[in-house]
Amino acid sequence: MSPPPYFFHVDLDAFFASVEQLDHPEYRGKPVIVSGMGKRGVVSTCSYEARRFGVHSAMPKLKAMQLCPHGIFLPSNMPRYYEKSKEVMEIFCRYSSDVQRMSVDEAFLDMTGTEKLFGPVEESARKLKKEIFSGTGLSVSVGVAQNKYIAKIASGFSKPDGLTIVLDKDVKAFMESLPLKDLWGVGKKTRERLESAGLKDTKTIANVSENLLKSLLGEASGHFLYSAVRGIDPGFFSNVPAEKSISNEKTFEHDIYDYDILENILFDLSQELSYRMFEENVTSRTVNIKIRYGDFRTVSAQATVDDPVNDSQDLFQRLKMLLAKKYEKGNPVRLLGAGLQNITQGRFPAQKELFESGREKKRSVEEAVYNLTKKMGKKIVTKARQLNTHADTDDKKY
DNA sequence: TCTGGGGTCCTAGGACCC
DNA sequence: TCTGGGGTCCTAGGACCC
């Protein structure tokens, strides 16, 4: 008989803030808030000391400063966080041959059939937590359950330094005890819609038909919720999905009124995007832009053509057309973004006319420039237009 | 309070074809 | 004369997550 499946979901507690406290002993026991730079930044992580002041992630930095004026505000240091993340992931790999990294601070471990090696479920979870703490100085919260969906919810059930085990026989009671907001995949809007239909908790939802949920939320979300409240894995985390899109966006310190400046910024974005295109060796036939106006209204435009994007100039031309189409003259712009969708791996099929038209050559030149930049560090190889842009986008000129 | 940056998936409607 | 049904591809926007 094959052993029953069980999974760990492991979540690093207040990860960025914890790394800062680890690296700077003087920050320990104090409210540490890692946030975006500039006055329009938001909190990305804060220590539990800061949470006591009501600070939480995604909160505008200005608000956090009001709530916690003596907080230690730090910019994020991603390379360092990735380093620590790697250490933790290496420990995961000692416990399971099937580790699914979900982001920099969380992963699923398929622990099925590992009792002989690590002992019963609870023992192995405690062992893992202890090893992570002694090996990296970081604390984690672990959720254990028969499927990934429940394990994911369980890891958030008791934080920090938590361990929540949901046995098969307790799944129903566990799911029904959950506040709606703790159900992964149910956000504010969905909650409001459910509540206005009289469905205010998971237990009530578990007692209505799938069709009712579908009529309220649509086909896919209705089906998802019907499964979710029963603890049936909706399959969100079944496999590592292939990358489908890449994008870059920028929120400005001050809203921008000048179309030429927007075009220059779009040029920068298209440069960064094409670097990533080369780095990840992908291309796409669909490009898109995103504009967020001063009133937070957000619009987007996309265009698909037969030929995949070839080089940065090609990309910029396509993006520029979209910007011209979508831009509303006179409206202040707070964010501009650009992306590639439906990306495909590898170089696009070699067509004869590519060579003849010089398209292929252009791309090769750019790839060489990209490799040089990578070696020498960015900003070394800079196009004339970018030099202008940097002058233009200097703060306070807007 | 005044709202980042990177993603994924879904929906509704339009165009086009058979 | 006015109107099918299904399928595919594309677009714009919304919801959600870390």
> A150-196: per-residue pLDDT in tens?
999 999 999 999 999 999 999 999 999 999 999 999 999 999 999 99
Determine the pLDDT at residue A375: 62
Confidence of residue A391 (pLDDT cuts 50, 70, 90): very low
Confidence of residue A126 (pLDDT cuts 50, 70, 90): very high
Does A268 or A38 have the greater pLDDT score? Answer: A268
Q: Is the CB of A189 under 7 A from strand C?
A: yes
Instruction: Report the pLDDT averaged over residues A108-134.
Output: 96
Per the prediction, chain A carries an average pLDDT of 90
Report d(CA A260, CA A27) in Å as an integer. Answer: 44
Instruction: Report the pLDDT averaged over residues A324-346.
Output: 94
- The nucleotide closest to A184 (CA, C1' atoms): C17
Determine the pLDDT at residue A242: 81
Instruction: Report the pLDDT averaged over residues A310-329.
Output: 95
Is it the case that residue A380 has pLDDT exceeding 50? no
A256 to A252, A288, A334, A370, A388: CA distances (angstroms): 8, 20, 6, 30, 17
- For the CA of A265 and the C1' of B1, the distance in angstroms is 29
- Rounded to a whole number, what is the distance in angstroms from the first to the last CA of chain A? 69
Flag residues 231-250 of A with CB < 7 Å from strand B: 241, 243-250
Instruction: Report the pLDDT averaged over residues A48-59.
Output: 96
Does A375 or A130 have the greater pLDDT score? Answer: A130
Flag residues 365-384 of A with CB < 7 Å from strand B: none
Is it the case that residue A356 has pLDDT exceeding 90? no
Known catalytic residues of A are 106
Determine the pLDDT at residue A388: 47
pLDDT tens-place string over residues A240-271? 668 899 999 999 999 999 999 999 999 999 99
The encoded tokens of residue A253 equal 């310190």
Determine the pLDDT at residue A374: 65
- For the CA of A250 and the C1' of B6, the distance in angstroms is 11
Flag residues 123-162 of A with CB < 7 Å from strand C: 152
> How many Cβ atoms from other residues are within 10 Å of residue A342's Cβ?
12
Give the β-pairing of A32-35 and A72-74: parallel
- For the CA of A324 and the C1' of C4, the distance in angstroms is 40
Determine the pLDDT at residue A396: 34
Does A33 or A241 have the greater pLDDT score? Answer: A33
Confidence of residue A390 (pLDDT cuts 50, 70, 90): very low
Flag residues 302-341 of A with CB < 7 Å from strand B: 334-335, 337, 339
Q: Poorest-confidence range of A52-61, A223-232, A340-349?
A: A340-349
Report d(CA A97, CA A239) in Å as an integer. Answer: 15
Instruction: Report the pLDDT averaged over residues A58-80.
Output: 96
Determine the pLDDT at residue A233: 93
Does A164 or A349 have the greater pLDDT score? Answer: A164
Sheet containing strand A72-74, edge to edge, reads: A43-46, A32-35, A72-74
Determine the pLDDT at residue A235: 87
Predicted TM-score (pTM) of the model is 0.88
| Nucleotides on chain C within 7 angstroms of protein Cβ | 9-18
Determine the pLDDT at residue A392: 40
Q: Is the CB of A57 under 7 A from strand B?
A: yes
Instruction: Let me know: does A336 contact A289? Beta carbons within 8 Å.
Output: yes
Determine the pLDDT at residue A364: 73
| Nucleotides on chain B within 7 angstroms of protein Cβ | 1-12
Share of chain A above pLDDT 70, in %: 89
- The nucleotide closest to A103 (CA, C1' atoms): C18
Determine the pLDDT at residue A394: 37
Determine the pLDDT at residue A357: 58
